[in-house]
Amino acid sequence: MRRSPAFLGLALIAALLASCDEPSESGLERVRRTGVLRWGGDVQGGEPYVFEDPARPGTLIGFEVELADAIAREMGVRAQFVQNDWSNLVPSLERGSFDVAMNGLEVTPSRADSVLFTRPYFVFAAQLVARAEDTSVTDLESLRGRRVGTLASSFSWDMLNAAGVEVVAYEGVEEPYADLEGGRLDAVLLDDIIASRYGLVRPSLRLVEDSGEGFYAVAARQGEGDLRDAIDQAIARLAASGELRRILSRWEIDHERQGRLATWTEDDTRAMLRVHGHAHFSLHHVWLFLQGAIVTLLVSASAMVLAIGLGLLLALARMYGPRGLAVPATFYVELFRGTPVLLQLYLLYFGIMPSVRHALGWHAGIESDALVAAVVGLGLNYAAYEAEIYRAGIQAIPPGQMEAAKVLGMGTMLALRRVVVPQAFRIALPGVTNDFIALLKDSSLVSVITVVELTKRMTITAIDVRSWLLPGLLCAAFYMAMSYPLSRLSQHLEQKLARQESR
């Protein structure tokens, strides 16, 4: 019998209402039903957390891999790793990308209200590291007003912000110590595992002090207390049996602090999770966003000036230069368009600039390296795209105009300067404006080399205030306020060009 659309619609609504009455599946029930405990982490965190086995590419090893397997065995399921950027582990956990987060996730006040933490599986010290010859660094107090590197939104990040130092945020664990060696920083504050693996192995660095103590714990989503409790009990059994410390020992990170794990109590957990209050979104954050927007605008505008000048030279070299210039110009365009700008920024800031400074023995203005690398890196990359825009603009000029200019006695360079390039530039202007808008947004990539621009400020604020909605909307509003006038300018130029061509 044929059903009417109205009948089918009512049936669908009834089915949806019926499904709403069904009890939702708890976190532990979901894990048991699937037989898999999906845990999120970041392989970039490196050894000894979770990383690729050099002897068996594609296979993950690390003390957290072994711990996840042990916890899953205790729960009667198997563990499955899910790759996720470390700084976004908590938001991804809340979104449901995996069941739990476990990757050196420190228990901090800014996280304790967002997720459910288990008892700790590792007790760490925040270690302050400085250059061996710099005896002026004695503790955090001695660094007031000076530059100290750490991971953004980490336990050490909170300590440094409270200590009144100039905090430089990194996204990797190797880079802060490289910059400390190179003189870009006065000290680095990070967890003892990171300090011992990546900092203190460098002869030019020394341990200043243990500045604080913190905990690594497994994080589950709010509302999935049964899953958190099951993992908590699994860790307790592993600690009581000695398996937890055997895992830590195999990775040479077991020490006297870990003795507390076997006798850990519920009171200890409550003390660890005690929240001392967290930041609320305020006018102060708006001011910080404005500062980030100014940095974004400064980097983008400076990079665009470089890109316009270099792009024009590249286009002219390709079209009118001798072969000795045309071939390198073509290679430049293909090289910078064919490789990621993120890679170029890494190479410039962490590779080329330190090498040049070392070769020249020049250390003046080293604290501005990140800003310089951001402008130069983006400028060099966008110059390749600008070159193609100008080349198209020059090709749009009828060849007869160049011939007429030469008949009047002009040389090629003079004809280009007075006749061809001004017209080509006018044609290229809408494309250039569009590129500037794209550059404004691409400038968010420079946060990987420690420049705190608008997007990086948004992510830091979102974690501080435990909300992505308002910081995200404000960040979008700032980008719109900067890009919309440029978009209108582009439209105006296109319309003006169209009117001129129609005459």
- DSSP letter string, 78-130: EEEEEE--GGGHHHHHHHTSSSEE-SS-B--HHHHTTEEEEEEEEEEEEEEEE
Q: Which of 39-48, 74-83, 435-444 has the highest mean pLDDT?
A: 74-83
pLDDT-derived band at 502, boundaries 50, 70, 90? low
Q: Please state the rounded mean pLDDT for residues 413-440.
A: 88
Which burial class, exposed, middle or buried, applies to 438 when counting CB atoms under 10 A from its CB (0-12, 13-18, 19+)?
middle
Q: How far is CA 457 from CA 289, 292, 447, 449, 478, in A?
A: 6, 6, 9, 14, 12
Residue 156 has pLDDT above 80, yes or no: yes
Lowest average pLDDT, out of 13-17, 364-368, 369-373, 388-392, goes to 13-17
Residue 278 has pLDDT above 50, yes or no: yes
Residue 335 has pLDDT above 60, yes or no: yes
CA distance 327 to 340: 22
Q: Is the dihedral of CA 445, 448, 449, 455 positive or negative?
A: positive
Question: At CA 447, angle to CA 444 and CA 451, rounded to 5?
Answer: 110
pLDDT of residue 275: 57
pLDDT-derived band at 277, boundaries 50, 70, 90? low
Rg, Å, the chain Cα set: 28
pLDDT of residue 469: 86
Burial pattern 202-231, b for ≥16 Cβ within 10 A else e, equals eeebbebbebbebbbbbbbbeebeebbebb
Residue 136 has pLDDT above 60, yes or no: yes
Alpha helices in 170-224 (DSSP H): 175-182, 192-194
Three-state secondary-structure class, residue 146? coil
pLDDT of residue 47: 86
Residue 9 has pLDDT above 70, yes or no: no
Place of tokens 């300067």: 417
Which residues have CB under 8 Å from 339's CB, separation 6+? none
Lowest average pLDDT, out of 334-348, 455-469, 486-500, goes to 486-500
pLDDT of residue 386: 95
Which is more confidently placed, 234 or 468?
234
| Amino acid at position 292, single letter | G
- Indicate the average pLDDT of the chain: 88
Residue 159 has pLDDT above 80, yes or no: yes
Q: How far is CA 312 from CA 125, 382, 418, in A?
A: 54, 11, 15
Which is more confidently placed, 276 or 134?
134
Residue 177 has pLDDT above 50, yes or no: yes
Lowest average pLDDT, out of 116-125, 321-330, 453-462, 491-500, goes to 491-500
Which is more confidently placed, 126 or 463?
126
Which is more confidently placed, 363 or 434?
434
Three-state secondary-structure class, residue 482? helix
Which residues have CB under 8 Å from 99's CB, separation 6+? 27, 30, 31, 37, 38, 39, 220, 227
